[in-house]
Structure formats: C-alpha cells, structure tokens
Chain A
Amino acid sequence: MTRKLDPRTKLFLLIVINVVMMTGKISGVFFYVRLAMVAIPFVLMLKNKMYSGAGIYVAMYTYVFALEGYTMESINGVLLIIILFTTGMVSRFLAGGMMAYLVMKTTTVSEFVTAMERMHVPKVIVIPFAVIFRFFPTIKEEWQDIRYAMKMRGIGAGGKNIMQTLEYVTVPMAMSVSKIADELSAASMTKCLSVDGKRTHIAKVGFSWPDLIFALCAIGALAMHIFYGGAITG
C-alpha cells in the first residue's frame, strides 16, 4: 500500500508551484527549476492512476515549452505576442491548476481538518476553508444544472440582454447555494462539529518518506527562487 501524501505537504507544494511558475524567471537554470515543478503534479497524477490526464498534461507542456523556446528566437511582432500569450498562460497556470485539482481530489475533508488542527489553526478558519475546498466542484455542478435549465427554456447563457441573463443565473444560484448551506450545516451537526472540546479522528495523517522527498524538492526550488533572482521575497 502506498501512503498518501500529507495534506500539509500538498498545500506547501501547491504554494511553491504557484510562486515559481507565476512569478519566477524562465531562462537559464530556472528552466530546470520549472521543469521540476511541472514534474510534481505529473508524478502525483501517475500515483493516482490518472494516466490519460497525465499524458495530456505532458503533451501540453512539451508543446508549450518547445514553442516558447522557438518563438522567442525566430518570430517577431504581433504574432509573437499572440503565441507567447497562449503559451505563457498555459505554462503559468496549468501546473498550479492541476496541483490544486489534485489537492482537492485526493484529500478528504476529515484528513484536511485533522492536518489543520495539528497545525493549531483555529476552528473559525479551518471549517470555512474546508468548505471552500469542497465547494468548487459543487459550484461547477450547480452552474451546469442552471445552464441546462436555462437552455430548456430557450435562454442562452450569452444572451442579448446581459442584465436579464445575470438575473436568471444569480437567483437560482442564490437559492441553491443557501439550500446547500443548510444541508451542510445539518450534516455538520451529525458530525458534532459544533461541540467544543478535542476532536478525535480516524483519518490517518502523518509525514512519511514521500513527503520528505517532495518537500525537499519544493524547498530547493523555493530557495533557488528566492536567492537567485526570484520575484517574491518575503
């Protein structure tokens, strides 16, 4: 059995990937730093048996990196800007986005809450954060349902009258969201979240050797980033 990564490690990796990919330099040795950052979600995808996703991911990055190297040297003008725009967007956001997706997909709420409590993060932060974390996929589902309902009644999402479309989207969204909030708080009642005192867990959360490897990798990248001309220094 392979141990899962600790949620804390995953969050740390997510932050480092975002910092390096979004604001780091690209050329020279930093190319390899970026490559390492790109590799992290890839390895995790393989570990979670998302083979087709991993394939597409690698293909996209190969394409983008190759294009970036090629265009910078040989194309000028408007075309350059357009191409760099698309490649830049992909190379900056894809790794972080993928990592965020993986964090959400592979971490259960109880693991997340346990890990955060180990870090002594107060409950008023942990619970809303856990909700946010679980809520992004739900928003997507609701959004699709609303779009579908609108289509059935012949209202396009683009629409001529933007204000009206906005109303048709927001009001059902508001209703379903407040219902979801009620359901979630009912669910939390059964889990005794509102009871004070120390909670107990059956979620196994702890660091193991894969955590160490990934964390060292990330710390290395971050150190490179900060000491050798990275963008953001605390």
Chain B
Amino acid sequence: MNKRLEVKDLINIGIYTALHFLCVFIIAMLGFIPQVLIFAGIIEGFIGAIPLMLFLTKTKKPGMLTIMGILLGVITVIMGRPWQSILFAAGAGIISDIVWKLGNYKSPKAAVVCCGTMMLWMGAMGLPLFFSFRDNYLASLEEGYGPDYVEVIRSLTPDWMFFVMILIAVVGGILGGLFAKRLLHKHFEKAGMTE
C-alpha cells in the first residue's frame, strides 16, 4: 500500500479539520460564562468527535492526524493565542497518530480513544488562562469585563485546573466517539471499520 500522502488525503485533512474546529469553536463561545468555562470541554469533545470519527474512516496513512494537529495549532495561534499552543496541538496530533496506528487504522476502539487524545489540543485553547500568561490575561479581562467577573474566573481556575479542563475535554471526546460510533454505524461498516 502506498504510504505517501496524496493530494486527496491532504484535502480530506483540510476539510475535516475545518469541520472539527468549527464544532469546537462554536461551543467554546459558551465558555465566556465562567461556570460553563470548565465544563464546556465535555460538550466540545462530544460534538467535535463526530467530524473526527468521520475523518478517521478516511485516514489510512501515518502522519495525517499529526498534520491535523499542527493545523489546529496554527489556527489557534492566528486567533491570538500564545505561540506555544501550537506545540500542544501538534502533540495531540502525534499521540492520536500513534494510537490510530496501533489500532491498525481500522479498529473502532482505537478510533474512540483517538477522539479522546485529539481533544488534548484543547490545552492550546485554554493556555492564556494559566501559568505565566495568567496574570496579564486576567488583567486584560478585568479592564474589559469588570473586576467581579475576573474574581469569579480567578477563583475557578487555579493552575491545576488546566489539567482538569484538558481531562474533561478528553472524556468528552471519548464519550462523543462512542456516540458517533453508534450514530454512524452503517457508514462505518461501509468503510470497513468493524470489530
């Protein structure tokens, strides 16, 4: 089998990355309500997993998920996140790539896990709220939204929350993967993805 990426694969990457990003981004808008911010990940993962599952049915070569991760990173950087976020997204891509390879590019179980690991890129979206970016970002929020709002955000997001948020997104991804698997059952069978 030809392992090199063809233009058709590249186009698929582009299309499904766009879909996935859009799904996640629309839900992420809800994250402006501070209490939702933390749990938004689970919905993001859930909805985002559907295009991801579809993408996996077309992914039969190594490297495709890595490229998807890099692209997601590039988009988040364009949206004004710190450049380090690209590393996060690329990492998520590489991990998913490995998982999907271990699943031989067709195991539904691996596909579900992939949906989870791919959601690690949510770390890139949340990055400005944490670590060394935190104080400046909150200061800018304070001027824009007022001190009350920032106080709520500050109390809700200590540094360890970063990992919890990623974890929540991953769980959401896995749940979404399970759901998408059922939803697109017939479609998957046609693509040769059966147990």
Contacts and interface: CB of A to CB of B under 8 A. Distances in A.
30 contacts: A18-B79, A22-B79, A23-B80, A25-B140, A72-B146, A85-B32, A88-B144, A88-B145, A123-B10, A127-B10, A128-B10, A128-B67, A129-B74, A131-B10, A131-B18, A132-B15, A135-B19, A163-B179, A174-B54, A177-B16, A188-B8, A188-B11, A189-B7, A194-B7, A229-B139, A230-B136, A231-B133, A231-B136, A231-B137, A232-B81
A72 B142 CA distance: 11
**Residue among B7, B12, B148 with max Cβ neighbours from chain A (10 Å):** B7
Interface string A194-234: 10000000000000000000000000000000000111101
B124 to A, nearest CB: 13
B11 A174 contact: no
Contacts of B144: 26, 68, 84, 88, 91-92
A52 interface: no
B189 to A, nearest CB: 14
B1 interface: no
B40 interface: no
A231 B10 contact: no
Contact of B77 (A15, A17, A81, A88): A15
A21 B143 contact: no
Contacts of B183: 166-167, 170-171
A119 interface: no
A14 interface: yes
Interface string B160-193: 0000000000000000000110011001000000
Nearest to B148: A81
Contacts of A26: 140, 143-144
Contact of B83 (A80, A92, A234): A234
Interface in B8-27: 8, 10-19, 21-22
Contacts of B180: 170
A157 interface: no
A234 B82 contact: yes
Interface stretch (A42-50, A54-62, A148-156, A179-187): A179-187
B149 A84 contact: yes
Contacts of A180: 15
Interface of B: 5-8, 10-19, 21-22, 32, 50-51, 54, 58, 63, 67-68, 70-71, 74-75, 77-83, 128, 133, 136-137, 139-140, 143-146, 148-149, 179-180, 183-184, 187
A124 B11 contact: no
A102 interface: no
A27 interface: yes
The 8 closest A-B pairs by CB, nearest first: A131-B14, A18-B80, A128-B14, A231-B136, A185-B8, A26-B143, A127-B10, A128-B13
B145 A136 contact: no
Contacts of A22: 79-80
A72 B147 CA distance: 10
A40 interface: no
B78 A18 contact: yes
Nearest to A183: B11
Given A132-B75, A139-B19, A194-B7, 13 more contacts: A15-B77, A15-B80, A22-B80, A23-B137, A27-B143, A80-B148, A127-B7, A128-B17, A129-B74, A131-B13, A170-B183, A185-B7, A188-B11
Contacts of B133: 231-232
Interface string A85-117: 100110110001000000000000000000000
Contacts of B83: 234
A123 B5 CA distance: 10
Contact of B58 (A132, A178, A193): A178
B136 to A, nearest CB: 4
A84 B145 contact: yes
